[in-house]
Structure 1
């Protein structure tokens, strides 16, 4: 056994020979003896402990461990306390400034907008407005105009029962008269003279706010128009004095806000007058019944808005049969007006059926009075982004519908001007029954007994009443639009018919005969557009008249009047006043 010691590394090495067996106690003794022989280490080798400065580099493991423990503990704490905080918050009252909960007595009770839904998109509130219009006899009539929109594009997905509650409604209990009373407080606070009274008189429980427009199309007396509006005579006289005029001229606009009671004349609350392009003037009735200017446009706009809402049509829920007529009736159109819309659509090739070519929207305006039935004044069909507008206009006492260019849109050339006729030879090549040669037949033949009445296929002017070898006796009518119709093989023309005479569609012009190249009594009906013969059974030509001269000027006035009615229903909003504008513009 060999012992080796080393002071450099302070270690003792014991090497035991593999072939030598020593007891362990002898080995321990030998080691102890070796240590005893070693000299003690010098003190310079033993150094004192030194303080080491903290840094992340030297203590990074400890820092990482400490940060991990902190994050885990914080997360656990948040999970535990978060649920408790939410639970406590739900049951705790929220403190609010009491001033924000008190409604000022001067605040306007405005109509609320009901929550929108799919069904709401298919509803349109029908706006109403009353307009006093002068008649040719010097009197005036109060007409109620109503605007109705039927949006079929958005309605195609809905069938059956339609709830036609209006999209705008006044809150329960907030009658228009109550709103008038409340606005009186606003008026006084805004500087309106205190002697101008808008308050509801005692006992006027059933009074309602109402708006009437006086928009003359010719020189009209103010008193006559107010009489048609059933305004109290004293109010009419006092307002005339305030306006300083007894007559209104085209371009003038006088709007009256009335308080109406059952079986009593209406009293004017406020009035707004505009002369031409001048600014509006507002007048209010004082306690002594006279009218004074107060120029409160905002107040007038609010009252007008309330009157419009109270007058708006609010139809009840109905069950439709799917037809456009039933839908129009459901949104407020009278049956007669709905029937007229259907007829005009048919006459103008407007499809009311579902499909890509069907009409998307119908926009109409009608009017009625106490003494007259509802009249369709204007209708617009919109399909695939294109619109067709028709206006009602009377010519020589007969009402018709014209497009914006003044062309009648209710009459199209008749395919069969012989009511009791039977179609024989058609348009095209044939063997002539008299000449026995192949010739082109430039018209169509209708068989009928001699003397059967023949009518004008469209409005026009008699161009020829003559006789010819082939035609026999014939009549030719020139129509607006550059085409003419010929009626041949006649027994004779109608009594009194003359060249240059204006005839209407359906008017009797001649009688069936068998003159000229004919094998029996029949009518030869020919259509020529420009220099070309056209099959009259396939032609779709406007057969109404086109307005010219004074008639066209009068029609233009009608269009302007319709535009003014729409503008009156959708006035330009005044700052702070309710906005009822639907961007309904006419061109």
Structure 2
């Protein structure tokens, strides 16, 4: 669910209409003495000083636990509310952004401290929207913070104390089927039928262990996707579409094979994609370690080297791709080398189970955290396409060894994935039959249909 919410947060623009201006005019807010108020300014949270550009790399708690609640109480003053709103700009912190509205560090500290249980402002990022209500003398009455339509937070004074909550909107999920024939690329074919790029990416990920959509797609191939379309239904507002949710069932058929998969959770909250026979789609290795333009050089025992001009074995696959394209690990493993190595230039080597070692050469640089001894997960970014070492242009030299000998990655026969536990098979069989009947309910046409 976390992954789904992150994806939707990136897919949609900020919608500010959800914030209701709080009826704070009836609230009487405490006034602190100048000394008391300034005392609360000491040690403004580091989260307000760190740049939003570094947000994804930071961690830890935003601040101490609600120390300001008791100090917020004081004799009441007449209130005349003022509402301010804005967005975090690139390079700004919450503090510097609010300073543009003449909001002082004491109020910023109060917001960060009281909202720490629900949101850490170290993760504030450019584009986040906020709305602040304050009294005529500048005292905070409420603060709303929105990162996307699906991620919103609110801080409000309830007459006695500040209360912070994460506002989780109600999501309406509707099954939808999209199906058609490939006439160019998978992405273009899905977009022509009204599907988003993110849906095409998710579909490609489902079959990433069986198909390399950068080169395996042929005109006339068939595809079908049964997925959730997500809608929000705000109170007193019309329902509107947010974006695609989880793929429930998928099919891709070529002249030679018919690939099908359904989503199933053997345990609540822990699921994945399985073939109709109950084996997991996920395997030890992915078919390709990046999104690439073309294969510039295949595995060969005798290739004319483009620079050295001599024939020698090329026991790997060269993937031509734009400089800086992310390169990921084909499987779980441990980094055993990161550095320069002769003609490979900048190289990463990963050791996997069952005697396999994968090589990623000619990189322009390494991803953060990738170092010798580090554990990496399948599809974790290791580095970026470059042209270091003996290279005529940007590409990835990908190689694979089995028990110390190079093998052709393109001809590797991967074993079937782990099957569903026997006790879950009856439940899986029922769901599988239901989803596959919805996936292919009628003869295939190029079009979409809501169920």
TM-score, scaled relative to structure 2: 0.34
For the pair shown, the structure with the greater C-alpha radius of gyration is 1
Structure number with the higher helix fraction is 1
Q: Which has the higher contact order (CA 8 A, sep 6+)?
A: 2
Structure number with the higher strand fraction is 2
TM-score, scaled relative to structure 1: 0.28
